[in-house]
A = this chain, B = another copy of it.
Amino acid sequence: MESPYIVIIATGSEITAGRSLDTNSSWMANQLFELGWKVKKFIALPDNPELILSELQNLKELTKTKPVLALMTGGLGPTEDDYTLETVLKLSGKKSYSVEKAKIRLTRVYESRGKQYSDILPTVLRQTHVPEDCKILDNNVGIAVGFVEPIGANSYLVCMPGVPSEMKEMFTRRLTPELKRLYPRENLVQKTKWLWNIGESLYQKDFVEKNRENLFSDVEWGVTANRGYIKCIFQSNDSERLERIVNELEKQYPKIISDDVFSFVHEELISKQLTIAVGESCTGGLLGKKLTDLPGSSSYFLGGFLTYSNEMKESLLGVSHEILSQFGAVSMETASSMANGIFEKTKADYCISITGIAGPDGGTDTKPVGTVWIGLKTPDGSVQTHSYIFPGNREGIRENASNTALFLLYQSLKQRNI
Protein backbone atom coordinates (compact mmCIF):
# COMPACT_ATOMS: atom_id res chain seq x y z
CA MET A 1 0.00 0.00 0.00
CA GLU A 2 1.09 3.54 -0.73
CA SER A 3 2.56 5.42 2.25
CA PRO A 4 0.11 8.06 3.47
CA TYR A 5 0.46 11.79 2.87
CA ILE A 6 0.94 12.84 6.49
CA VAL A 7 -0.15 16.22 7.83
CA ILE A 8 0.17 17.28 11.46
CA ILE A 9 -2.24 19.95 12.68
CA ALA A 10 -1.92 21.82 15.98
CA THR A 11 -4.89 23.90 17.06
CA GLY A 12 -4.76 26.65 19.66
CA SER A 13 -4.84 30.43 19.54
CA GLU A 14 -2.00 30.48 22.07
CA ILE A 15 0.18 28.87 19.38
CA THR A 16 -0.65 31.17 16.46
CA ALA A 17 -0.45 34.18 18.79
CA GLY A 18 3.09 33.14 19.68
CA ARG A 19 2.30 32.72 23.38
CA SER A 20 3.03 29.03 23.41
CA LEU A 21 5.41 26.94 21.34
CA ASP A 22 3.94 23.89 19.59
CA THR A 23 6.25 21.05 20.59
CA ASN A 24 3.68 18.31 19.93
CA SER A 25 4.06 18.37 16.14
CA SER A 26 7.81 18.02 16.28
CA TRP A 27 7.56 15.18 18.79
CA MET A 28 5.04 13.31 16.62
CA ALA A 29 7.11 13.81 13.46
CA ASN A 30 10.04 12.27 15.27
CA GLN A 31 7.97 9.27 16.37
CA LEU A 32 6.58 8.84 12.86
CA PHE A 33 10.08 8.97 11.43
CA GLU A 34 11.09 6.19 13.78
CA LEU A 35 8.10 4.22 12.53
CA GLY A 36 9.35 4.77 8.98
CA TRP A 37 7.08 7.60 7.75
CA LYS A 38 7.87 11.15 6.73
CA VAL A 39 5.61 14.11 7.45
CA LYS A 40 4.72 16.36 4.50
CA LYS A 41 3.35 19.35 6.34
CA PHE A 42 2.76 20.95 9.74
CA ILE A 43 -0.17 23.31 10.16
CA ALA A 44 -1.08 25.38 13.22
CA LEU A 45 -4.47 27.10 13.46
CA PRO A 46 -6.14 29.35 16.02
CA ASP A 47 -9.22 28.11 17.93
CA ASN A 48 -11.49 29.18 15.11
CA PRO A 49 -14.05 26.60 13.96
CA GLU A 50 -14.38 27.99 10.41
CA LEU A 51 -10.64 27.94 9.80
CA ILE A 52 -10.33 24.43 11.24
CA LEU A 53 -13.28 23.10 9.24
CA SER A 54 -12.02 24.62 6.00
CA GLU A 55 -8.60 22.99 6.55
CA LEU A 56 -10.19 19.60 7.23
CA GLN A 57 -12.40 19.92 4.14
CA ASN A 58 -9.29 20.54 2.03
CA LEU A 59 -7.73 17.40 3.45
CA LYS A 60 -10.90 15.39 2.81
CA GLU A 61 -10.81 16.62 -0.79
CA LEU A 62 -7.19 15.49 -1.02
CA THR A 63 -8.11 11.93 -0.03
CA LYS A 64 -9.64 11.56 -3.53
CA THR A 65 -6.14 11.59 -4.99
CA LYS A 66 -4.08 9.85 -2.29
CA PRO A 67 -4.27 8.27 1.16
CA VAL A 68 -4.09 11.01 3.78
CA LEU A 69 -3.23 10.70 7.46
CA ALA A 70 -3.98 13.84 9.44
CA LEU A 71 -2.91 14.02 13.09
CA MET A 72 -4.56 16.85 14.98
CA THR A 73 -3.87 17.94 18.57
CA GLY A 74 -5.76 20.36 20.77
CA GLY A 75 -9.35 21.57 21.01
CA LEU A 76 -10.61 18.59 23.04
CA GLY A 77 -10.64 20.40 26.39
CA PRO A 78 -13.58 21.63 28.45
CA THR A 79 -13.65 25.30 27.48
CA GLU A 80 -15.65 27.32 25.00
CA ASP A 81 -12.73 27.66 22.62
CA ASP A 82 -12.36 23.90 22.20
CA TYR A 83 -13.89 23.17 18.81
CA THR A 84 -12.41 19.89 17.63
CA LEU A 85 -15.35 17.55 18.24
CA GLU A 86 -17.92 20.01 16.89
CA THR A 87 -15.84 20.56 13.75
CA VAL A 88 -15.29 16.86 13.09
CA LEU A 89 -19.04 16.24 13.46
CA LYS A 90 -19.72 18.98 10.92
CA LEU A 91 -17.17 17.46 8.58
CA SER A 92 -18.58 13.95 8.83
CA GLY A 93 -22.27 14.71 9.38
CA LYS A 94 -22.15 12.24 12.28
CA LYS A 95 -23.47 12.42 15.82
CA SER A 96 -21.38 11.91 18.94
CA TYR A 97 -21.81 9.73 22.03
CA SER A 98 -20.23 9.62 25.47
CA VAL A 99 -17.68 6.83 25.97
CA GLU A 100 -18.80 4.83 29.01
CA LYS A 101 -15.32 4.12 30.37
CA ALA A 102 -14.34 7.79 30.16
CA LYS A 103 -17.59 8.85 31.82
CA ILE A 104 -16.88 6.51 34.74
CA ARG A 105 -13.34 7.85 35.01
CA LEU A 106 -14.59 11.43 35.06
CA THR A 107 -17.27 10.63 37.65
CA ARG A 108 -14.62 9.09 39.91
CA VAL A 109 -12.52 12.24 39.67
CA TYR A 110 -15.57 14.27 40.72
CA GLU A 111 -16.40 11.89 43.53
CA SER A 112 -12.85 12.11 44.87
CA ARG A 113 -13.45 15.86 45.19
CA GLY A 114 -16.71 15.26 47.05
CA LYS A 115 -18.90 16.04 44.05
CA GLN A 116 -21.23 13.87 42.00
CA TYR A 117 -22.16 13.08 38.42
CA SER A 118 -24.85 15.77 38.28
CA ASP A 119 -22.21 18.41 39.11
CA ILE A 120 -20.32 17.72 35.89
CA LEU A 121 -20.73 20.62 33.48
CA PRO A 122 -21.85 19.79 29.92
CA THR A 123 -18.60 21.20 28.47
CA VAL A 124 -16.62 18.97 30.82
CA LEU A 125 -18.73 15.94 29.92
CA ARG A 126 -18.14 16.75 26.25
CA GLN A 127 -14.55 15.58 26.73
CA THR A 128 -15.84 12.02 26.97
CA HIS A 129 -17.63 12.30 23.60
CA VAL A 130 -16.43 10.89 20.27
CA PRO A 131 -18.07 10.65 16.83
CA GLU A 132 -20.09 7.50 16.09
CA ASP A 133 -18.23 4.68 14.32
CA CYS A 134 -14.71 5.81 15.01
CA LYS A 135 -11.79 4.15 16.72
CA ILE A 136 -11.51 5.34 20.33
CA LEU A 137 -8.12 6.31 21.79
CA ASP A 138 -8.62 6.24 25.54
CA ASN A 139 -6.75 8.67 27.76
CA ASN A 140 -4.81 7.22 30.70
CA VAL A 141 -3.43 10.54 31.87
CA GLY A 142 -6.31 13.02 31.61
CA ILE A 143 -9.99 13.08 30.74
CA ALA A 144 -10.40 13.98 27.05
CA VAL A 145 -10.84 10.94 24.80
CA GLY A 146 -9.03 10.82 21.46
CA PHE A 147 -10.30 9.17 18.29
CA VAL A 148 -9.47 8.05 14.75
CA GLU A 149 -12.07 9.18 12.23
CA PRO A 150 -12.12 7.77 8.66
CA ILE A 151 -12.14 10.62 6.10
CA GLY A 152 -11.68 8.79 2.78
CA ALA A 153 -10.06 5.78 1.15
CA ASN A 154 -7.26 4.64 3.45
CA SER A 155 -7.44 8.08 4.99
CA TYR A 156 -7.87 9.02 8.65
CA LEU A 157 -8.12 12.04 10.87
CA VAL A 158 -6.65 11.39 14.32
CA CYS A 159 -7.73 13.77 17.09
CA MET A 160 -5.76 13.88 20.32
CA PRO A 161 -5.53 16.22 23.33
CA GLY A 162 -3.06 19.09 23.13
CA VAL A 163 -1.66 18.51 26.63
CA PRO A 164 1.74 16.97 25.79
CA SER A 165 1.74 14.33 28.54
CA GLU A 166 -1.73 13.11 27.51
CA MET A 167 -0.95 13.17 23.80
CA LYS A 168 2.37 11.37 24.19
CA GLU A 169 0.94 8.57 26.29
CA MET A 170 -1.99 8.18 23.87
CA PHE A 171 0.27 8.24 20.83
CA THR A 172 2.67 5.65 22.18
CA ARG A 173 0.28 3.21 23.78
CA ARG A 174 -2.85 3.48 21.62
CA LEU A 175 -2.16 5.17 18.30
CA THR A 176 1.12 3.54 17.32
CA PRO A 177 -0.28 -0.03 17.16
CA GLU A 178 -3.30 1.32 15.29
CA LEU A 179 -1.15 3.07 12.68
CA LYS A 180 0.94 -0.06 12.18
CA ARG A 181 -2.27 -1.94 11.48
CA LEU A 182 -3.71 0.71 9.14
CA TYR A 183 -0.56 1.30 7.11
CA PRO A 184 1.55 -1.83 6.95
CA ARG A 185 5.17 -0.89 6.66
CA GLU A 186 8.13 -2.44 5.09
CA ASN A 187 10.18 -4.17 7.68
CA LEU A 188 12.31 -1.32 8.78
CA VAL A 189 15.01 -1.81 11.36
CA GLN A 190 16.42 1.13 13.22
CA LYS A 191 19.60 1.79 15.14
CA THR A 192 20.30 4.84 17.24
CA LYS A 193 23.61 5.91 18.72
CA TRP A 194 24.60 9.07 20.56
CA LEU A 195 27.77 11.05 19.94
CA TRP A 196 28.91 13.57 22.56
CA ASN A 197 30.17 17.11 22.10
CA ILE A 198 30.38 16.98 18.30
CA GLY A 199 28.45 19.11 15.78
CA GLU A 200 25.97 17.71 13.25
CA SER A 201 27.79 19.15 10.29
CA LEU A 202 31.14 17.72 11.34
CA TYR A 203 29.55 14.30 11.84
CA GLN A 204 27.90 14.56 8.44
CA LYS A 205 31.14 15.50 6.71
CA ASP A 206 33.44 13.08 8.56
CA PHE A 207 31.18 10.07 8.77
CA VAL A 208 28.17 10.16 6.46
CA GLU A 209 29.85 11.73 3.41
CA LYS A 210 32.97 9.63 3.88
CA ASN A 211 31.02 6.39 4.00
CA ARG A 212 28.19 7.32 1.67
CA GLU A 213 29.15 4.91 -1.10
CA ASN A 214 30.36 1.90 0.81
CA LEU A 215 27.87 1.93 3.68
CA PHE A 216 24.86 4.09 3.08
CA SER A 217 23.07 2.62 0.06
CA ASP A 218 19.49 1.70 1.04
CA VAL A 219 19.97 3.28 4.43
CA GLU A 220 18.04 6.33 5.59
CA TRP A 221 19.83 8.41 8.17
CA GLY A 222 18.90 11.30 10.40
CA VAL A 223 20.49 13.37 13.12
CA THR A 224 18.86 15.08 16.07
CA ALA A 225 20.92 17.70 17.84
CA ASN A 226 20.53 17.78 21.61
CA ARG A 227 22.22 19.55 24.47
CA GLY A 228 25.66 17.93 24.66
CA TYR A 229 25.06 15.17 22.16
CA ILE A 230 23.65 14.33 18.75
CA LYS A 231 21.43 11.31 18.14
CA CYS A 232 22.42 9.45 14.98
CA ILE A 233 19.57 7.41 13.57
CA PHE A 234 19.86 4.80 10.82
CA GLN A 235 17.03 2.91 9.17
CA SER A 236 17.06 0.11 6.64
CA ASN A 237 15.43 -3.17 5.69
CA ASP A 238 18.85 -4.72 5.94
CA SER A 239 19.83 -5.21 9.56
CA GLU A 240 23.27 -6.50 8.68
CA ARG A 241 24.03 -3.26 6.89
CA LEU A 242 22.99 -1.34 9.99
CA GLU A 243 25.34 -3.44 12.11
CA ARG A 244 28.18 -2.52 9.79
CA ILE A 245 27.38 1.18 10.07
CA VAL A 246 27.25 1.04 13.85
CA ASN A 247 30.54 -0.88 13.98
CA GLU A 248 32.16 1.72 11.79
CA LEU A 249 30.73 4.50 13.95
CA GLU A 250 32.11 2.87 17.10
CA LYS A 251 35.49 2.47 15.43
CA GLN A 252 35.60 6.11 14.37
CA TYR A 253 34.30 7.62 17.63
CA PRO A 254 35.26 5.21 20.45
CA LYS A 255 35.49 7.89 23.14
CA ILE A 256 32.34 9.88 22.51
CA ILE A 257 29.81 7.22 21.51
CA SER A 258 27.01 5.96 23.76
CA ASP A 259 23.55 4.46 23.84
CA ASP A 260 20.74 6.29 25.63
CA VAL A 261 22.64 7.29 28.77
CA PHE A 262 19.52 8.14 30.79
CA SER A 263 18.01 4.68 30.62
CA PHE A 264 21.37 2.91 30.84
CA VAL A 265 22.34 4.75 34.02
CA HIS A 266 18.91 4.09 35.52
CA GLU A 267 18.93 0.37 34.81
CA GLU A 268 22.57 -0.18 35.66
CA LEU A 269 22.39 1.56 39.04
CA ILE A 270 19.31 -0.46 39.96
CA SER A 271 20.62 -3.82 38.80
CA LYS A 272 24.06 -3.38 40.40
CA GLN A 273 22.54 -1.86 43.57
CA LEU A 274 24.75 1.19 43.37
CA THR A 275 23.94 4.59 44.86
CA ILE A 276 24.58 8.12 43.74
CA ALA A 277 24.63 11.61 45.22
CA VAL A 278 25.31 15.00 43.65
CA GLY A 279 26.64 18.46 44.43
CA GLU A 280 25.56 21.17 42.01
CA SER A 281 26.58 24.75 41.63
CA CYS A 282 25.70 26.32 38.24
CA THR A 283 23.10 23.66 37.37
CA GLY A 284 21.17 24.51 40.55
CA GLY A 285 19.37 21.16 40.82
CA LEU A 286 19.01 20.18 37.16
CA LEU A 287 21.24 17.10 37.52
CA GLY A 288 19.27 15.91 40.56
CA LYS A 289 16.05 16.53 38.67
CA LYS A 290 17.27 14.44 35.72
CA LEU A 291 18.42 11.64 38.04
CA THR A 292 14.95 11.48 39.58
CA ASP A 293 12.89 11.77 36.38
CA LEU A 294 12.23 8.06 36.25
CA PRO A 295 10.16 6.19 38.80
CA GLY A 296 12.29 3.84 40.85
CA SER A 297 15.14 6.33 41.12
CA SER A 298 14.78 6.29 44.90
CA SER A 299 16.60 2.96 44.89
CA TYR A 300 19.85 4.69 43.83
CA PHE A 301 19.51 8.45 44.25
CA LEU A 302 20.34 9.31 47.86
CA GLY A 303 20.27 13.07 47.54
CA GLY A 304 22.57 16.00 47.10
CA PHE A 305 23.68 19.53 47.73
CA LEU A 306 22.89 22.71 45.85
CA THR A 307 25.97 24.73 46.70
CA TYR A 308 25.31 27.79 44.62
CA SER A 309 27.26 30.21 46.80
CA ASN A 310 30.87 29.81 47.90
CA GLU A 311 29.76 29.86 51.53
CA MET A 312 27.60 26.79 50.88
CA LYS A 313 30.47 25.03 49.12
CA GLU A 314 32.46 25.53 52.30
CA SER A 315 29.81 24.85 54.92
CA LEU A 316 27.94 21.99 53.24
CA LEU A 317 30.71 20.24 51.32
CA GLY A 318 33.79 21.28 53.23
CA VAL A 319 35.57 22.88 50.28
CA SER A 320 38.36 24.83 51.93
CA HIS A 321 38.55 28.57 51.85
CA GLU A 322 42.09 28.23 50.48
CA ILE A 323 40.98 26.22 47.45
CA LEU A 324 38.19 28.69 46.67
CA SER A 325 40.42 31.73 46.99
CA GLN A 326 43.46 30.22 45.27
CA PHE A 327 41.80 28.37 42.37
CA GLY A 328 38.30 29.84 42.30
CA ALA A 329 34.90 28.18 42.51
CA VAL A 330 35.16 27.02 38.90
CA SER A 331 38.28 24.88 39.01
CA MET A 332 39.55 21.33 39.02
CA GLU A 333 40.38 21.63 42.70
CA THR A 334 36.90 22.81 43.71
CA ALA A 335 35.15 20.15 41.59
CA SER A 336 37.35 17.49 43.13
CA SER A 337 36.88 18.77 46.67
CA MET A 338 33.10 18.98 46.15
CA ALA A 339 33.02 15.34 45.01
CA ASN A 340 34.94 14.29 48.12
CA GLY A 341 32.62 16.38 50.29
CA ILE A 342 29.54 14.71 48.81
CA PHE A 343 31.05 11.34 49.64
CA GLU A 344 31.85 12.37 53.22
CA LYS A 345 28.24 13.36 53.80
CA THR A 346 26.41 10.62 51.89
CA LYS A 347 28.80 7.65 51.41
CA ALA A 348 27.24 7.18 47.98
CA ASP A 349 29.04 4.86 45.52
CA TYR A 350 29.14 7.58 42.86
CA CYS A 351 29.43 11.27 43.72
CA ILE A 352 29.11 13.86 40.97
CA SER A 353 29.97 17.53 41.33
CA ILE A 354 29.32 20.32 38.83
CA THR A 355 30.68 23.84 39.05
CA GLY A 356 30.74 26.32 36.20
CA ILE A 357 29.79 29.64 34.67
CA ALA A 358 26.32 29.48 33.12
CA GLY A 359 26.34 33.15 32.19
CA PRO A 360 25.45 35.48 30.68
CA ASP A 361 27.67 37.29 33.23
CA GLY A 362 30.63 36.08 35.24
CA GLY A 363 32.94 35.05 32.42
CA THR A 364 36.60 36.09 32.25
CA ASP A 365 39.32 35.75 29.63
CA THR A 366 40.69 32.58 31.19
CA LYS A 367 37.29 31.22 32.28
CA PRO A 368 34.74 32.28 29.66
CA VAL A 369 31.00 31.78 30.04
CA GLY A 370 30.36 28.06 29.45
CA THR A 371 33.40 26.86 31.41
CA VAL A 372 32.32 23.90 33.52
CA TRP A 373 34.24 21.46 35.72
CA ILE A 374 32.68 18.11 36.51
CA GLY A 375 34.00 15.84 39.25
CA LEU A 376 33.17 12.14 39.54
CA LYS A 377 34.13 10.06 42.55
CA THR A 378 33.88 6.36 41.76
CA PRO A 379 33.53 3.33 44.08
CA ASP A 380 37.30 2.69 43.99
CA GLY A 381 37.74 5.99 45.81
CA SER A 382 39.35 7.92 42.98
CA VAL A 383 38.06 11.26 41.70
CA GLN A 384 38.17 12.12 38.00
CA THR A 385 37.70 15.71 36.91
CA HIS A 386 36.81 16.95 33.43
CA SER A 387 36.59 20.47 32.08
CA TYR A 388 34.48 21.77 29.21
CA ILE A 389 33.60 25.02 27.51
CA PHE A 390 29.98 24.46 26.54
CA PRO A 391 28.30 26.52 23.82
CA GLY A 392 24.88 28.14 23.99
CA ASN A 393 22.98 30.40 26.33
CA ARG A 394 22.44 29.93 30.08
CA GLU A 395 19.84 27.22 29.61
CA GLY A 396 21.96 25.46 27.00
CA ILE A 397 25.06 25.46 29.18
CA ARG A 398 23.14 24.07 32.16
CA GLU A 399 21.56 21.32 30.04
CA ASN A 400 24.92 20.51 28.45
CA ALA A 401 26.62 20.30 31.83
CA SER A 402 24.09 17.99 33.46
CA ASN A 403 23.78 15.73 30.40
CA THR A 404 27.55 15.47 30.11
CA ALA A 405 27.78 14.57 33.81
CA LEU A 406 25.44 11.66 33.09
CA PHE A 407 27.62 10.64 30.14
CA LEU A 408 30.68 10.53 32.40
CA LEU A 409 28.72 8.35 34.82
CA TYR A 410 27.67 6.15 31.86
CA GLN A 411 31.30 5.70 30.81
CA SER A 412 32.37 4.82 34.32
CA LEU A 413 29.57 2.27 34.70
CA LYS A 414 30.43 0.76 31.29
CA GLN A 415 34.08 0.48 32.35
CA ARG A 416 33.12 -1.62 35.38
CA ASN A 417 31.52 -4.16 33.10
CA ILE A 418 34.59 -4.76 30.96
**Interface of A toward B, CB cutoff 8 Å:** 10, 13-23, 25-33, 38-46, 48, 51, 77-81, 121, 123-124, 141, 163, 165, 169, 199-201, 204-205, 208, 222-225, 233, 278, 280, 282-289, 291-293, 295-298, 301-309, 311-312, 315-316, 345-346, 358-361, 392-396, 398
Instruction: Tell me whether B201 and A17 are in contact (CB under 8 A).
Output: no
Interchain Cβ contacts under 8 Å between A and B, 22 examples: A16-B38, A17-B222, A18-B39, A19-B233, A21-B23, A40-B45, A41-B45, A42-B42, A78-B200, A78-B201, A79-B223, A80-B204, A121-B201, A278-B285, A278-B306, A282-B292, A284-B293, A286-B289, A288-B308, A295-B359, A295-B360, A303-B307
Closest residue on chain B to residue A29 by CB atoms: B18
Given A27-B18, A222-B19, A292-B308, decide whether A41 and B43 contact each other with a Cβ distance below 8 A.
yes
Q: For A10, what are the chain B residues with a Cβ–Cβ distance below 8 Å?
A: 42
Instruction: Tell me whether B79 and A19 are in contact (CB under 8 A).
Output: no
Instruction: Tell me whether A283 and B293 are in contact (CB under 8 A).
Output: no
Instruction: Tell me whether B41 and A16 are in contact (CB under 8 A).
Output: yes
How far, in whole Å, are A224 and B46 apart by their CA atoms in the complex? 13
How far, in whole Å, are A21 and B38 apart by their CA atoms in the complex? 16
Contacting residue for A17 out of B29, B295, B307, B360, CB 8 A: B29
Q: For A302, what are the chain B residues with a Cβ–Cβ distance below 8 Å?
A: 308-309, 311-312
Tell me the minimal C-beta distance from A194 to chain B in angstroms: 13
The 9 lowest CB-CB distance pairs between A and B, nearest first, are A285-B288, A285-B285, A284-B292, A18-B30, A18-B29, A42-B44, A303-B312, A78-B201, A304-B306
Chain copies in the assembly? 2
Instruction: Tell me whether B224 and A14 are in contact (CB under 8 A).
Output: yes
Q: For A298, what are the chain B residues with a Cβ–Cβ distance below 8 Å?
A: 308-309
Tell me the minimal C-beta distance from A358 to chain B in angstroms: 8
Instruction: Tell me whether A40 and B29 are in contact (CB under 8 A).
Output: no
Tell me the minimal C-beta distance from A148 to chain B in angstroms: 21
Q: For A48, what are the chain B residues with a Cβ–Cβ distance below 8 Å?
A: 40
How far, in whole Å, are A224 and B292 apart by their CA atoms in the complex? 27
Instruction: Tell me whether A293 and B27 are in contact (CB under 8 A).
Output: no
Tell me the minimal C-beta distance from A329 to chain B in angstroms: 10
Q: For A141, what are the chain B residues with a Cβ–Cβ distance below 8 Å?
A: 392-393
Q: For A13, what are the chain B residues with a Cβ–Cβ distance below 8 Å?
A: 222
Instruction: Tell me whether B41 and A44 are in contact (CB under 8 A).
Output: yes
Instruction: Tell me whether A222 and B308 are in contact (CB under 8 A).
Output: no
